[in-house]
Amino acid sequence: MKKEKVVFDLLFEGQLKEFLERLEIYDKFINNEIKCEKCESTLTSDNLGFIKIEDKEPKFYCDNPECLRGVS
């Protein structure tokens, strides 16, 4: 069985603002305009679980285990 290699960068809370600014979505984030891709809950720094770049677009997931399941 062939194993798939998954590469990810670890983002620390102190780097979140800079990261979101580079993506030009920091204002949307602090204005509660970013939603979880799975459950549609509003994301904040308290419940942000995962950011995935897919086709050059960020996809956001909350920290709910059901939403994180299967995301890679």
Q: What are the boundaries of each domain within the chain? A: 35-72
Q: Contact at 8 Å (CB) between 49 and 41?
A: no
Three-state SS sequence of 7-71: CCCCCCHHHHHHHHHHCCCHHHHHCCCCECCCCCCECCCCCEEEEEEECCEEEEEECCHHHHCCC
Query: Which 3 state secondary structure label does DSSP give 59?
Result: strand
Q: Return the pLDDT at 2.
A: 54
pLDDT digits (tens, 9 = 90+) for 13-60: 678 888 899 889 999 999 999 999 999 999 998 899 888 888 989 999
